[in-house]
Structures are given as structure tokens and as C-alpha cells.
Amino acid sequence: METVLIVGATGNIGVSTAIAALRTKRNVLAVVRSEASAEKLFKHVGTRDGITTVQADVTSDQGVQGVVDQVKAGKLPAFQHVYSCVGGDYVNTPLTKISTEYLRQQMNRSFETNFFAYRATLPYLLEQNNPNSTWTLCTGAQGDMGNFAMPAMTQGALFSMAAAAAVETKGTNVRFNEVYLAFRVEVDEDAAQHDYASRASDFAAVYEGLLARPDIQGARVNVFSEADFKELKVVQKGLNLGGEDSSKVSYQRS
Ligand SMILES: NC(=O)c1ccc[n+]([C@@H]2O[C@H](COP(=O)([O-])OP(=O)(O)OC[C@H]3O[C@@H](n4cnc5c(N)ncnc54)[C@H](OP(=O)(O)O)[C@@H]3O)[C@@H](O)[C@H]2O)c1
């Protein structure tokens, strides 16, 4: 049975990912920061079955690496898929009011965490060489909308990381993709209180679809409305230069 390692497992998107993994008969290895967060995950997913939790500090550059080391030592289940969705604050602070300390804290929580997760897990997936492996990153359209400055900037960095990861994983056993979400998804209990939010259990269909589609690789999956949960809107990452593959373009002077 396959296992999905989820980094950011206890949040809205992480819960949705765990639901998708279990529905597709996969197990979950959930990275959590505390026992309390693990209980939150079990409650929102509705079961403990199929879920292994491991505590780690995902904000530290060695946090997820420590999890991979335990997997390699046989202390935790091997995994074939990674989904990363650690997130920071969703607040509207104008650019000119963002302190240096807050900028660095949020870049750490929303960007570095996901980068550290990729850097620690990709070599492991390449070494395992499982032909079905995937690596998925959730990003938000706030990075293009720009009306919440701090989350906009962290998402912008994630868009670029996804572009680089799509290039680097091309031709490997790992299908890297970015899920680009343009509206609010919350765990079902919270979504029931907010008419602007969609349910995590419904959004799970996007990851279920992505896991089932070996043709989706190096892509951004656009989720603009609930209609996109089941009919995946797939766009290749990279710059469209009139049909030329941007990963092969050199910017050196001729
Ligand atoms: N939800 C959406 O509608 C939406 C829309 C567009 C894009 N996204 C993307 O998905 C990401 C996650 O969104 P979300 O709604 O799932 O966020 P969330 O519910 O706030 O969850 C964030 C996750 O990150 C963890 N985390 C946050 N700060 C941490 C810290 N200092 N140390 C350790 N863990 C920490 C949380 O752990 P705890 O549970 O322990 O706090 C949780 O697992 C966003 O940042 C964005 O990139 C989400």
C-alpha cells in the first residue's frame, strides 16, 4: 500500500489531502507539531485508521529531514508521495507596515517550510525510484491578486519554486505539480459556518484526480471554482515562448 507524506497535515489543505489519500486506499504519514494538532487532524478526517503521525518542527531546515532519516532507518513507513501545504497568516498588512521581523517570520512559515520539505524529500523519492511517485505543492491565487500583501509575497516565491521543481523533476520518476487555489477551502466543520468557504472533503477530489492522472507532470492545476474539483484544469508550468520549451532556453549572451 502506498503512503502520502503530508507536511502541513493539520491545516485545511492538509486535512483535505489526508481525506484524498485514504479515499484512494493510501496511508498517511502526517508531520505534526504537537499532540494537540494531531488530535485536530484525526477529528477533522474522522478516523485514526491509516494515519501515522510524527512530530517535527517544519520551520527548521532539519525538521522534515529528520523525518526522512527515520523513514530510512525503518522507524516510520516508507512514502511514495509528498503533499506540502504549510501556511502562515492570512492578514491584510500594507507592504509599508510589514516589519523586517514579520517578513522573515512569514517567509519562513509559508515559503521556507515548503522549500525545506522539498529539499529533504525529493532525493529520497528519487532514490526509491518508484515510478508512481508524486510531489504536490498547494499555492494560492493571492500571489497574483495582491490584495493581502504578505501572503501574496509568500505565494509568489512558491510559484517560482514550483517552476524550478517542474524543470528539475522532468524525466524523473517523480511527478511534480502545483495546485493553484483561487478561493477559500476550510475543514468541513468550519466551512459549514462560512458561506464563502468550500469543504475540505470536496476539495479532496482535486488530489484524488491528480493521483489518478499519470499524464499530469510539471503542471499547475488551476482551481478557480468548485466545478474544477472534478474536471482538472491543467496548465504546464514554465514560460510560454510561442511553443518553445522554456526549460531549454538559455539566457546567456550569444
Ligand atoms: N485554505 C485555503 O483556502 C487556501 C487557499 C489558497 C492557497 N492555500 C495554500 O495552502 C496553504 C495552507 O493553507 P491552510 O488553509 O491549510 O492553512 P492552515 O489551516 O493555517 O494550516 C497551516 C498548516 O501549517 C502548520 N503551521 C503553521 N505555522 C506553523 C508553525 N509555526 N510551526 C509548525 N507548523 C505550522 C499548521 O499547523 P497547526 O495545525 O499545528 O497550526 C497547519 O498544519 C496556504 O498557506 C497556501 O499556500 C490555501
3-state secondary structure of 71: helix
Q: Bigger pLDDT: 250 or 63?
A: 63
18 lines ligand 1 (CB under 6 A): no
CA–centroid distance, 154 to ligand 1, in Å, is 12
The one-character DSSP state at 92 is -
CA–centroid distance, 11 to ligand 1, in Å, is 5
Residue 50 cell numbers, joined:
491509516
Atom of ligand 1 nearest to the CA of 32: 40
The pLDDT of residue 235 is above 70: yes
Atom of ligand 1 nearest to the CA of 59: 32
CA–centroid distance, 114 to ligand 1, in Å, is 11
Q: pLDDT band at 254, cuts 50/70/90?
A: very low
Q: pLDDT band at 132, cuts 50/70/90?
A: very high
Mean pLDDT of 217-241: 94
Query: Domain with 42 in it: what CATH number?
Result: 3.40.50.720
Residue 23 cell numbers, joined:
479515499
User: How buried is residue 137: exposed, middle or buried, by Cβ count under 10 Å (0-12/13-18/19+)?
Assistant: buried
Could you tell me the sign of the dihedral formed by the alpha carbons of 148, 194, 233, 237, in that order?
positive
Mean pLDDT of 105-126: 98
Q: How much of the chain, in percent, has pLDDT values that exceed 70?
A: 94
Mean pLDDT of 144-158: 97
**Residues spanned by the domain of 35:** 3-248
CA–centroid distance, 8 to ligand 1, in Å, is 6
Q: pLDDT band at 232, cuts 50/70/90?
A: very high
14 lines ligand 1 (CB under 6 A): yes
| pLDDT value at residue 245 | 57
Q: Does residue 84 fall inside a structural domain?
A: yes
Please state the pTM of the whole predicted model.
0.96
Q: Does residue 55 fall inside a structural domain?
A: yes
pLDDT tens-digit readout, 65-99: 999 999 999 999 999 999 999 999 999 999 999 99
The pLDDT of residue 162 is above 50: yes
Mean pLDDT of 224-234: 97
Q: Which of 55, 138, 160, 184 to mutate to test the pocket of ligand 1 (most atoms within 8 A of CB)?
A: 138
| pLDDT value at residue 241 | 66
Mean pLDDT of 139-159: 97
Residue 93 cell numbers, joined:
498588512
CA–centroid distance, 59 to ligand 1, in Å, is 12
In single-letter form, the type of residue at position 23 comes to R
Q: Does residue 105 fall inside a structural domain?
A: yes
Contact in structure between 75 and 54 (CB atoms under 8 Å): no
Q: Does residue 184 fall inside a structural domain?
A: yes
Atom of ligand 1 nearest to the CA of 8: 43
13 lines ligand 1 (CB under 6 A): yes
Q: Does residue 217 fall inside a structural domain?
A: yes
Average confidence score pLDDT of the chain: 95
87 lines ligand 1 (CB under 6 A): yes
Q: Does residue 253 fall inside a structural domain?
A: no
- Cα dihedral: 181, 182, 188, 194 (round 10): 160
Q: How many domains would you assign to the chain? A: 1
Mean pLDDT of 207-230: 98
Q: Does residue 254 fall inside a structural domain?
A: no
Mean pLDDT of 136-162: 97
Q: pLDDT band at 239, cuts 50/70/90?
A: confident
Mean pLDDT of 163-173: 97
Q: Does residue 150 fall inside a structural domain?
A: yes
Residue nearest ligand 1's atom 8 by CA: 140
